[in-house]
Every structure is written in structure tokens, then in C-alpha cells.
Structure 1
Amino acid sequence: MGTLKIAVQKSGRLSEKSLQLLSDCGIRLSNGERRLKAVSPNFPVEILFLRDDDIPQYVEEGVADAGILGQNEVWEKNKDVTEVKPLGFAGCRLSLAVPKDALYTGPDFFNNRKVATSYPVILQKYFDENNINAQIETISGSVEIAPAIGLADGIFDIVSTGSTLQINGLKEVEQVIKSEAVLIANKTLTPEKQEILDKLLFRIQSVRNAAENKYILLNAPNESVAEISRILPGMKSPTVLPLAEEGWSSIHSVIREDTFWDIIDKLKALGAEGILVTNVEKMIL
């Protein structure tokens, strides 16, 4: 079998999260230094460590077969690649911001003004869609200081918490797009490499399923088992086991983490006791 070459960011939080995802998928990497590339001894992949803004081009040209990076870089570079799967981490938003004391009345504020950004392609598309005639100043870093030094009237940049904007005397006024880490692929993969990618996608989905769900077990009186089973359907149906104490059962199921706190009071009202919730390492559907 051949090898699937996957490009990941060479440093930073997204790089660490990408490598953690591969590790969670059971993929070991042999090169701890991560200078240029690493190979896996137990899965047919080779990892290339590149600048994130170079990854779309390398994937388009087939230097790498696939890549893990932020959607914002995929959209900005606008290369001919396939966006295979969002990965659920490294979430952020790209927003317009202006000085705190600016009287902002809406997107028309930017008409005939200058906006500094490292993402001119995404920003120009937004301006075109909203019939805004603004001048885009493209800079590669320190976008937040542009208004303070007189380079621009506002900025367009990645926002995570908004604290950087506040430090630089700016306020977020328009959220343009949301972005997260994504897996991209070359559009002309060989059948052999596509098979490897499909196996990787299966593992990624199993890890994602596990991250989004919790294993729950509880004790309940038998007369409440049917109603609790309705609330906790599990993947097919809950596992119900009799307890040594007559009239009671143990119920085991899987529940989405984002719904657990919404139904905990319902479970308690039905007499559920000894409720335990644990992480799921892998979840194969």
C-alpha cells in the first residue's frame, strides 16, 4: 500500500491540535523533532510540516495529498482543492473592527474608508456582496495597530476572545464568517490514496463521535425504566440490568454532552440515583 501525505501547520495551537487528533486516531509518528516531516510506523501516512498559508497550494499541486488547516486559509488562498471535513477545533471568527470611539452605523461605515487585513480575498468578497466601496490595505501582521498609526480606519482579522481588540482600542462591529480546522484533499487522488483517506476519515469520525457523547449509567426504580429509556435512547436502546435490590435496575446509555444538563432534572424526578457520566474514548456507529 502507498502512503498518504498530509500537510499540517508546523507550529502553533492548530498544529498541536492536529497532531493530537492523529494520535487520538491511533496514528503514531516516528519523528519527535518535526523539522520537516514525520512518518507513521502503524498507519500509511507521512506528515509534512508547512506554513499554514502554503498548505492549500501544496495540496492543489499534489505535493501533499491532504492537509489540516483553518478554513480561513482555505478560503483566502482559493485553491482548487476539496474541503473534505470540518474537524471541530480551532474555532474562530473573522470580523471587522473599528476604533472604540468611532460612530459605527452599519457596514456602510466602510464606504470610502481604508481597512487593513491579512485576508483581502475574503474581505473583498464581503464588500462586493454588500456593495461597499472600500480600500483594502493588505498587511501580513500586527493588523490591530493599523488604525492607531493612521494606516486604516478599521481592520478585518481573526477574533477568538476579543481581548486583543480591546487592548488595541478597537471594537468588533461585524462578524463576517466563522472558521474552524478542516481537512482538505487533492482533487485527483489515486484510488489507493483515496482508500487510505477514507480509513482516516472513519477514525476521525469515531473520535468526533466520542468527543460529542458521554457514557451514562444510573440506578432507577423499575416503574421508571420505560420513561428513562425514552429520554436516554442511546445508539439503539439503553442497556437495562437488574440490580440485587428487588424493584431496581441499572440503566446504561450514551448521551450527547450538550444535552445532558438539560435532562438531568428529568432523570432525578423519575427517581434516578447514582448517576455516573464518563468519557467515551472511541465510538463506532
Structure 2
Amino acid sequence: MLRIAVQSKGRLYEDSMALLAEAGIKLSSGKRTLLVPSRNFPVEILFLRDDDIPDSVASGVADVGIVGLNELLEKAKKTREVKRLGFSKCRLSLAIPKDAVYKGLEWFSGKKIATSYPGILSAFLNEKGIKADIHVITGSVEIAPGIGLADAIFDIVSSGSTLISNQLREVEVVVDSEAVLVANENLTPEKNEILEELVFRIGAVQAADSKKYILMNVPKSQLEDVLAVLPGIKSPTVMPLANDEWCSVHTVLEEKYFWEIINKLKAAGAEGILVLDIEKMIL
């Protein structure tokens, strides 16, 4: 049985559980408790606070965990990064009052910086040769300059709206963060085998993300023109239709490309274009 530590609430919890569900993992309990086994896969989910996950994985309380890279770097616990998951993206940035004149990192010399991530900030400032006073705050970091607690902040930024509402502006991005799957460094062969299957399933889910299955009818006389337009993976599938003068073309496209080429496909002779979602894709 592989034990997976997952954040107990918040956006990372929602995205993590959605990913596990898409990977075919069904939980045994309708009501969430601290530890919930799966009904159909040899894993159990341990719900923890996000900042407890790195230590729980490093110490072996959990075998693997889904955690933000920001928390993983801050806790600096010895774990093995298995896979970046592509969701819960944010960044750790330095921000200053919006009216302050900023010409570079030297601005922070001698300044007081409020943060909930003193480890990451300290390492960054030391690397850059900047001496500043780090003031640790556990919540509402963004209000610190406005009430005179600090000259600047180092905090998570997603959309940037919180900074704007507090009269701050982002000036330096230090870490680009996202959810990562991490593992204990000393898993047994049996647990590693389960983890490999889990990673395989997650990979299939990720491969299908933002991709569409495209079907269209094409006159055989214009088939080469249509195929020349398609930027799909490998070679499109061409199938005969009841009308010998037509064929059906099937391919997979990145969704972002579809609207760019739809008029080109129509101009090339494609008709009856059908776009379908893809749940999983094995490459």
C-alpha cells in the first residue's frame, strides 16, 4: 500500500483530488477523514496541512506527496522529485510600494522584507549579495508595507490582484512554483512499483490535457491539401467512407492550434469537422 500525502483543503486539494480521480483512483469513504484508502488501487490518501507534507514524506510518514514547489523548497527536506504536475501554478516574488523608484536588487539593501518564506528569501539574497532584514509573518504578508511593518514583501503571486489592491507592484520573480509529486528516498521495491504505475496514469492524463480529437470528411482529391495543414502528432489516420470519392481523417491537435487552422481546413476541402475531448492518451 502506497500512502500519498495531499493538502487537506484549498485549491491544491481540489486539483490533487481531481487528478487522482482522473487517474482512476476511487476512494472508499464518502466523508473525508484523515486517512482514506482507495477501493481499486493499492494507495491510501493522508490529508495534511501543505507545510507538513515535505516533512511527512522525508520522514516516511507518507511515501509520496503532492505539494507546491514553494513549500518543498522552503522546508528543504530530503525527498525525491518524481514529477511536476502542471497545476496550482504561482510564483514567489519580491514586491514593493507601487510608487517606489526601483532600479534593481540593490533597492532591497538595508530594507525590511516581510515574508512567510524566510528560507527561500534568505538563500536568494545571499546568492545576490544583498543584506536585508527579513521579517517573518505567517499570514496577510501583503499588508505589511501599508501598516509600516516592512518596506517590501516576498510572497506568493498568482494573478497579482492582491498586490494591486494593497498598492504594491511585483519587481523580481524568485521562484516559479507548481504542484509536484515527491517521494521518500527509501521506498521499497513494491512501493516503487505502485508509484511507477501511478506516474504512468498521471502521464496519460497530462498527455490528454488541452488536446482534442478531430474528425473530418475530406474529398480524396483534396486529401494532400488537408494533411499539409494538420500539425497533429505523428501521422493522421485516413479511413475510407461509403462514397469512394471521400475519406475520413482523424487526428489529435493541441486545442490552441484548432482555431488557428480551422479556416485553412475548410478552405482545403474539409467538411463535417467534429471536435471531441480526450480523457486519457498513452504515448
What TM bracket, shorter-length normalisation?
over 0.9
Which residue is equivalent to 2:146? Answer: 148
Which residue is equivalent to 1:33? Answer: 31
Deviations 1:25-51 (A, max 9, x none): 110001232231110010000100001
Q: Percent identity?
A: 60
**Aligned mate of 1:167, from 159, 165, 170:** 165
How much does 1:243 deviate? 3.2
Aligned partners of 2:226 and 2:269 also within 8 Å? no
Moved more, 31-40 or 7-16: 31-40
Cα distance in 2, alignment partners of residues 156 and 261 from structure 1: 39
How much does 1:199 deviate? 0.4
1:49 alignment partner, SS class: strand
The runs of at least 4 consecutive aligned structure 1 residues that moved more than 4 Å come to none
**Aligned mate of 1:19, from 2, 17, 20:** 17
| Matches for 1:83-232 after TM superposition, within 5 Å | 83-232=81-230
Count of residues in correspondence between the two structures: 283
Cα distance in 1, alignment partners of residues 220 and 227 from structure 2: 11
1:166 alignment partner, SS class: helix
Cα distance in 2, alignment partners of residues 16 and 232 from structure 1: 35
Cα distance in 1, alignment partners of residues 275 and 238 from structure 2: 16
Moved more, 155-164 or 130-139: 130-139
Which residue is equivalent to 1:277? Answer: 275
Cα distance in 1, alignment partners of residues 228 and 221 from structure 2: 13
Aligned partners of 1:17 and 1:89 also within 8 Å? yes
Q: Structure 1 regions of 5+ residues with no counterpart?
A: none
How much does 1:246 deviate? 4.5
Aligned partners of 1:9 and 1:50 also within 8 Å? yes
Aligned partners of 1:84 and 1:183 also within 8 Å? yes
2:218 alignment partner, SS class: strand
1:90 alignment partner, SS class: coil
Normalising by the residue count of structure 2, what TM-score does the alignment of the two structures yield?
A: 0.95
Which residue is equivalent to 1:266? Answer: 264
Aligned partners of 1:119 and 1:157 also within 8 Å? yes
How much does 1:231 deviate? 4.1
Aligned partners of 1:215 and 1:253 also within 8 Å? yes
Deviations 1:158-184 (A, max 9, x none): 111111111111111112221111100
Moved more, 155-164 or 117-126: 117-126
Q: Which residue identity does 1:75 align to in structure 2?
A: L
Which residue is equivalent to 2:56? Answer: 58
| Matches for 1:226-245 after TM superposition, within 5 Å | 226-232=224-230, 234-245=232-243
Aligned partners of 2:82 and 2:181 also within 8 Å? yes
**Aligned mate of 1:48, from 43, 46, 49:** 46
Cα distance in 1, alignment partners of residues 155 and 270 from structure 2: 49
Moved more, 61-70 or 96-105: 96-105
Cα distance in 1, alignment partners of residues 113 and 138 from structure 2: 13
Cα distance in 2, alignment partners of residues 135 and 225 from structure 1: 67
Q: Structure 2 regions of 5+ residues with no counterpart?
A: none
CA RMSD of aligned residues (A): 1.5
Cα distance in 1, alignment partners of residues 186 and 230 from structure 2: 43
Deviations 1:211-264 (A, max 9, x none): 132101112222332343344364442221233445322111111223333333
Q: Which residue identity does 1:173 align to in structure 2?
A: V
Q: Which residue identity does 2:142 align to in structure 1?
A: E
Aligned partners of 1:10 and 1:34 also within 8 Å? no
